[in-house]
């Protein structure tokens, strides 16, 4: 038995076993199976080939195969039941401090962390219909390597949608499809280079992305009117979240919008607009994108992560003409192109207006959750409530509030981790996301939050 290899397994599934016949065929088979289970190459519940089939595949007797199975059943590596065959057993973790075990032990009872939508509301039926139609009508070349800018079907669909829903001037030839916002930010950093101004406070991971891709990070203040454009200098670009600043939740004031575009035109700088949750406005119609004011100086970044789900890994960039080829070339040398089938499905979802219907339904659901949050917290100082999927609750002692939350099994975000340079005298607050919890768990999560804020 110089090689162990079964090409049939169960129902045509391949089973690869490392050769080890130094101590005989049975011992070699036992060791190979044992190692495969220990190393995770055979996962719990995997059904193994019948002894007759395995014996034929490996060129051994059926008795040898059965004896090896029986030994591993006795050792607890396999289970054997009449009618269900022989399967890999579930083994207990050998390391109680393994990351998986720690994660399970520390999983919060209630999750009000910001950053994610209600993924349970993903429109599975509508997506499946769109996927079927897309596959049924896709040309054969859709399954080959594609344009690094993305499928023309999705770029055309987004051109229409972004124009009517977000006020973005977005010809299809100026759109590049990405695998989410982070990839778009990374590509832009490589293309623009130099120092990039980023909101303070802002998401630390995005600062890491810029630095990792060769850019310098310069903090720019955010106040009650949004980013302080008057603080900008010679930076190559500034990254802003004008519709609903993260994490403070303020909407960029019209005067600041004009100041930003004036800076970009005067300095030759670029404005990078992160429109991560711009569709979700509750006090009036969603505020139009900044890009519509200066399409030649603004790069617009959008994503399906908040409207549909992060798992799709679908985002888009609307670029000024002079950046399209450079960004497309960077995309080509990054991952060639974003996967195609999801692009076609999203294009179909947009063209059929199922996407609009889903966004409207989500907007109503999240507004109800926002209202529940406000009702439960009463007179407390809550900011950033006009839009989005999170709010900022001011507290006197952030560390104490976080400690109480942890004791109650409540996961929340906090303002302190978002400053470029943490220090004394900074405003303090909890960043509360109301997109993540399931409907039935949300009221209980709010009760626990209120208890934490009341000091109890």
Domain that holds residue 46: 5-88
319 and 426 belong to one structural domain: no
As a whole number, mean pLDDT of residues 415-428 equals 90
pLDDT at 96 over 90: no
Pick 211 or 108 by higher pLDDT.
211
Extract the tokens encoding 177.
Answer: 């499809």
As a whole number, mean pLDDT of residues 142-151 equals 96
pLDDT at 1 over 50: no
155 and 249 belong to one structural domain: yes
436 and 341 belong to one structural domain: no
Closest CA to 130 of 102, 107, 112, 157: 157
Q: Is 432 domain-assigned?
A: yes
Q: What is the pLDDT of residue 438?
A: 84
Say how many domains are in the chain: 3
Pick 99 or 47 by higher pLDDT.
47
Q: Is 68 domain-assigned?
A: yes
Q: Poorest-confidence range of 40-49, 92-101, 373-382?
A: 92-101
Q: What is the pLDDT of residue 375?
A: 94
Q: What is the pLDDT of residue 50?
A: 87
Q: Is 212 domain-assigned?
A: yes
Q: Is 67 domain-assigned?
A: yes
Q: Poorest-confidence range of 50-64, 119-133, 397-411?
A: 50-64
- pLDDT tens profile 265-291: 999 999 999 999 989 999 877 788 999
Strand duo 410-414 + 110-112: pairing: parallel
CATH number at residue 81: 1.10.10.10
75 and 166 belong to one structural domain: no
Q: Poorest-confidence range of 9-13, 282-286, 398-402?
A: 9-13
Percent residues over pLDDT 70 in the chain: 92
pLDDT band, residue 100 (cuts 50/70/90): low
pLDDT at 140 over 60: yes
Rounded Cα distance, 100 and 110, in Å: 19
pLDDT band, residue 105 (cuts 50/70/90): very low
Last residue of a domain, one of 339, 356, 373: 356
Residues 6+ apart with CB under 8 A from 388: 243, 244, 249, 277, 280
- pLDDT tens profile 57-95: 888 899 998 998 988 888 888 998 877 789 999 876 545
- pLDDT tens profile 317-344: 999 999 999 999 999 999 999 999 999 9
242 and 142 belong to one structural domain: yes
pLDDT at 172 over 60: yes
pTM: 0.82
219 and 286 belong to one structural domain: yes
pLDDT band, residue 152 (cuts 50/70/90): very high
182 and 150 belong to one structural domain: yes
pLDDT at 259 over 60: yes
Q: Is 97 domain-assigned?
A: no
224 and 79 belong to one structural domain: no
Q: What is the pLDDT of residue 410?
A: 95
Indicate the average pLDDT of the chain. 90
Q: Is 270 domain-assigned?
A: yes
182 and 323 belong to one structural domain: yes
301 and 269 belong to one structural domain: yes
pLDDT at 2 over 60: no
Pick 130 or 13 by higher pLDDT.
130
pLDDT at 5 over 80: no
- pLDDT tens profile 366-387: 999 999 999 999 878 899 999 9
CATH number at residue 441: 3.90.1150.10
Residues 6+ apart with CB under 8 A from 86: 47, 48, 50, 51, 69, 73, 78, 79, 80
As a whole number, mean pLDDT of residues 45-55 equals 87
Q: Poorest-confidence range of 56-70, 230-244, 304-318, 409-423?
A: 56-70
pLDDT band, residue 405 (cuts 50/70/90): very high
Q: Is 244 domain-assigned?
A: yes
pLDDT at 6 over 80: no
Last residue of a domain, one of 329, 356, 383: 356
400 and 385 belong to one structural domain: yes
CATH number at residue 303: 3.40.640.10
268 and 396 belong to one structural domain: no
Last residue of a domain, one of 337, 356, 375: 356
Q: Is 163 domain-assigned?
A: yes
């Amino acid at each position: 038995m110089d090689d162990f290899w079964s090409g049939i397994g169960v129902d045509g599934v391949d089973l690869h076993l490392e050769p080890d016949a130094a101590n005989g065929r049975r011992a070699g088979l036992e060791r190979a199976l044992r190692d495969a289970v220990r190393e995770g190459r055979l996962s719990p519940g995997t059904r193994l080939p019948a002894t007759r089939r395995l014996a034929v595949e490996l060129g051994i007797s059926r008795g040898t195969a059965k004896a090896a199975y029986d030994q591993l059943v006795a050792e607890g590596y396999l289970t054997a039941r009449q009618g269900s065959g022989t399967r890999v057993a579930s083994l207990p973790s050998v390391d109680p401090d393994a990351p998986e075990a720690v994660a399970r032990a520390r999983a919060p009872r209630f999750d009000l962390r910001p950053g994610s939508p209600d993924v349970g509301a993903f429109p599975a039926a509508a997506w499946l219909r769109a996927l079927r139609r897309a596959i049924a009508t896709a040309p054969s070349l859709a399954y080959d390597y594609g344009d690094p800018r993305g499928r023309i079907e999705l770029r055309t669909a987004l051109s229409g949608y972004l124009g009517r829903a977000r006020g973005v001037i977005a010809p299809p030839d100026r759109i590049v499809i990405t695998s989410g916002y982070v990839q778009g930010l990374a590509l832009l950093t490589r293309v623009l280079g130099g120092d990039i101004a980023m909101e303070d406070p802002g998401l630390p991971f995005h600062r890491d992305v810029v630095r990792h891709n060769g850019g310098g990070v310069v903090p720019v203040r955010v106040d009650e009117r949004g980013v302080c454009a008057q603080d900008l200098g010679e930076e190559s670009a500034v990254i802003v979240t004008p519709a609903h600043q993260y994490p403070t939740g303020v909407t960029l004031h019209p005067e600041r919008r004009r100041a930003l575009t004036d800076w970009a035109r005067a300095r030759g700088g670029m404005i990078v607009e992160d429109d991560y949750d711009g569709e979700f406005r509750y006090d009036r119609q969603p505020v139009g994108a900044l890009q519509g004011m200066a399409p030649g100086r603004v790069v617009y970044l959008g994503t399906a992560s908040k409207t549909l789900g992060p798992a799709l890994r679908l985002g888009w960039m609307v670029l000024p003409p002079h950046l399209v080829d450079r960004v497309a070339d960077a995309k080509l040398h990054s991952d060639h192109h974003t996967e195609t089938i999801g692009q076609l499905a999203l294009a179909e979802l947009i063209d059929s207006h199922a996407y609009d219907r889903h966004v409207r339904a989500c907007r109503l659901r999240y507004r109800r959750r926002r209202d529940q949050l406000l009702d439960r917290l009463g007179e407390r100082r809550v900011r950033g409530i006009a839009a989005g999927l999170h709010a900022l609750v001011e507290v006197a002692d952030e560390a104490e509030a976080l400690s109480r939350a942890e004791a109650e099994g409540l996961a929340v975000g906090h303002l302190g981790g978002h400053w470029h340079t943490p220090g004394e005298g900074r405003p303090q607050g909890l960043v509360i996301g109301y997109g993540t919890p399931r409907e039935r768990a949300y009221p209980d999560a709010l009760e626990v939050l209120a208890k934490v804020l009341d000091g109890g």
